Amino acid sequence: MKEKIIQNSQDVKVYDFKKALRLSMEQVRVLTRIHDNFAYQLASAISTQLRTIVQVDVVSVNQMLYEEFIKELPAYTILNVFETSEKGRMIMELKPQMAYAILNRLLGGRELSASPEDKMTLTQIENKILHKLFEGFVENLRKSWKDLMNVDLKVFEIETNPQFLQVAIPNETVIVIAFTIKIGDVTERMHICIPYIILEPFLPKLSSYQLFSTRSHAKSTQESKLLKSKIEELEIPLSVELGRSKISIEEFLSLNVGDVIQLNQLYDEPLKAKVGKEVKFFVKPGVKKTRLAAEIETVLEKEGK
């Protein structure tokens, strides 16, 4: 009997009641999807600012105590404290190596240099630039959270010492979302720390059904019109092909001014007009005022287009 109890004890998992998990696996999955969208938007925004390829990925969504999160942070790191008007404050932590790499690029540097090892504070200029940078980060986060909670977010302050932060009591549960940011050869982690008390009123919305049903009705008529107007303003390449011909390399090398190349196109046949690489029209060449022109004779339509 004693031997049986010992064998069964191997299947027992330790559960810490002090660190009770507040979110279900389904809710964690939904949070991961929401922040996958944020990662995509953030990568696009940073890439536009730095004019280089940026990759941002969600690594994990964890639940822990606030004091555990603070203990895991290095003595010097870049901490963006942002807040909502009613719910409370949250933390966005960015490693100094990545922060200074971005700063260097924003200030005109060609390479992504790491931060000095002995640096422990930010200058006023660095603080101002990072404040503006984090405002963009927070705005992208607000857009990603729109389906979950429609709240206004704003940057409160930037801190460098984790011990000076007190956005929650030590034994309060927080949700920590970890990301990797890759810019060139520099890859670092970023964390977002959200006190559970801020998410608690929105927990009923943290389900796949609620998330996708909300998104299906999210687009307004105004957004659709804006999207349509943007598409209509896009410039597309249009070209008219006079014809084609095959010649040998010897003939190509011996070409001179005044030589005539015979094309596979008869003079009275309509020419092909292409949009991108696809033939869309048959046209007739001509002149309008002082410029060459082409008159559309036939519009080619394909099934499903």
* Per-residue model confidence as pLDDT tens digits over 212-266: 555 555 555 666 777 777 787 778 888 998 888 898 999 889 989 988 888 888 8
CATH number at 240 reads: 2.30.330.10
Q: How confident is the model at residue 168 (pLDDT cuts 50, 70, 90)?
A: confident
Note whether 133 and 201 are same-domain residues.
Answer: yes
- DSSP symbol at 51: T
How many percent of the chain have pLDDT more than 90?
23
In this prediction, residue 80 carries a pLDDT of: 92
Q: Are 139 and 177 in contact (CB under 8 A)?
A: no
In this prediction, residue 113 carries a pLDDT of: 59
C-alpha–C-alpha distance, residues 178 and 291, integer Å: 59
- The range of the structural domain enclosing residue 295 comes to 236-244+263-305
Region class of 18: left (phi > 0), else alpha (psi between -120 and 50), else beta? alpha
- Look at residue 116 and tell me if it is in a domain: yes
Note whether 190 and 279 are same-domain residues.
Answer: no
Is pLDDT at 42 greater than 80 in this prediction? Answer: yes
Is pLDDT at 66 greater than 60 in this prediction? Answer: yes
Do the bridges between strand 278-288 and strand 271-275 make them parallel or antiparallel, or are there none, so unpaired?
A: antiparallel
- Look at residue 152 and tell me if it is in a domain: yes
Note whether 240 and 205 are same-domain residues.
Answer: no
Is pLDDT at 56 greater than 90 in this prediction? Answer: yes
Note whether 272 and 185 are same-domain residues.
Answer: no
Note whether 178 and 32 are same-domain residues.
Answer: yes
- Mean pLDDT over the full length of the chain: 82
Which of 63, 59, 60 is CA-nearest to residue 16? 63
Lowest pLDDT segment from 108-117, 118-127, 265-274: 108-117
- Look at residue 88 and tell me if it is in a domain: yes
Q: Are 36 and 141 in contact (CB under 8 A)?
A: no
- Look at residue 258 and tell me if it is in a domain: no
Note whether 103 and 176 are same-domain residues.
Answer: yes
- Look at residue 11 and tell me if it is in a domain: no
Provide φ and ψ at 267, rounded to 5°. -65, -25
Note whether 200 and 294 are same-domain residues.
Answer: no
| Residue predicted with more confidence, 44 or 14 | 44
CATH number at 212 reads: 3.40.1550.10
- Look at residue 122 and tell me if it is in a domain: yes
What pLDDT digit, counting tens, does each position of 242-253 carry?
A: 888 898 999 889
In this prediction, residue 220 carries a pLDDT of: 58
Alpha helices, H only, the chain: 2-9, 25-50, 66-72, 96-106, 124-145, 196-199, 208-216, 221-232, 249-253
- Look at residue 253 and tell me if it is in a domain: no
What pLDDT digit, counting tens, does each position of 78-108 carry?
A: 999 998 877 789 999 999 889 888 888 888 7
Is pLDDT at 177 greater than 60 in this prediction? Answer: yes
What is the mean predicted confidence (pLDDT) over 112-116?
58
In this prediction, residue 181 carries a pLDDT of: 93
Note whether 77 and 133 are same-domain residues.
Answer: yes
Laid out side by side, the sheet with 278-288 consists of 238-241, 271-275, 278-288, 291-299
Q: How confident is the model at residue 55 (pLDDT cuts 50, 70, 90)?
A: very high
* Residues 6 or more apart whose Cβ sits within 8 Å of residue 66: 167, 168, 169, 170, 171, 172, 173, 174, 193, 195
Q: Which residues of 40-70 are buried (b: 16+ CB within 10 A; e: fewer)?
A: ebbbebbeeebeeebebebeebbebbbeebb
Note whether 99 and 38 are same-domain residues.
Answer: yes
The number of domains in the chain is 2
Note whether 171 and 301 are same-domain residues.
Answer: no
Cα angle for residues 133, 135, 141 (degrees, 5° grid):
110
In this prediction, residue 52 carries a pLDDT of: 85
Is pLDDT at 290 greater than 70 in this prediction? Answer: yes
What is the mean predicted confidence (pLDDT) over 149-168?
86
Note whether 82 and 149 are same-domain residues.
Answer: yes
The two tokens of residue 225 are 């019109």
Is pLDDT at 276 greater than 80 in this prediction? Answer: yes
Q: Are 191 and 179 in contact (CB under 8 A)?
A: yes
Note whether 204 and 278 are same-domain residues.
Answer: no
- Look at residue 157 and tell me if it is in a domain: yes
Is pLDDT at 148 greater than 70 in this prediction? Answer: yes
In this prediction, residue 58 carries a pLDDT of: 93
